[in-house]
Amino acid sequence: MNLASLTGHLHLSPGFEWIGNHYCSIAFGTATLVEILAYTIPWLDHILDLIASPAAIVAGIIATASMVMDLSPFLKWTLALIAGGGAAAIVQGMTVTLRTKSSGLTAGTGNVFVSSLELVGAVITALLAIIVPIVCVALIAFLCIFVIWKAGRLFIGRMKIK
């Protein structure tokens, strides 16, 4: 969002212009590098997941609210909470689950691979959101529906076992 705003590809709603300044570029870039490096350390990635899970939901809410312009504040924040926070919660939940399973199967050594896939997925999603936003929304909607469907099947399967 920061880079898209700085290059004129994204107009932020009033009150969120701070996301598009050069100081935030430095802060966001530094945080991104630290997170990428930290997720390659098996025990540290679990500690970061404890912090990142609620932070990802808040970031999803803020990111959505920063792009919604022509709605009342009530609708803007409701949409941000449901769409932005919900999508962020689903994606973060998937990555935490995948990383936890990877740690269990590989004693943490497979987490570097999982983190690398997560990084590639994040970059592709960000680029798609800028270049072809409709395709990106469709892919994220499909991903959310798939995860909810799989979780439902898993839950129903566990209920049948008992």
DSSP 8-class letter at 17: G
Q: In terms of Cα–Cα distance, which of 41, 54, 62 is closest to 93?
A: 54
Domain ranges of the chain: 2-132
Q: Alpha helices of the chain — where are they, by DSSP H?
A: 2-6, 22-38, 42-67, 73-79, 86-106, 111-131, 133-161
Tens digit of each residue's pLDDT (9 = 90 or more) over 101-139: 888 888 888 888 888 888 898 888 888 887 888 888 888
Q: What is the pLDDT of residue 162?
A: 60
Q: What is the pLDDT of residue 82?
A: 92
The pTM for the full model equals 0.74
Tens digit of each residue's pLDDT (9 = 90 or more) over 80-99: 999 899 989 988 888 888 88
Say whether 130 sits in a helix, a strand or coil: helix
Per-residue b/e over 71-91, b at no fewer than 16 CB within 10 Å?
eeeeebbebbeebbbbbbbbb
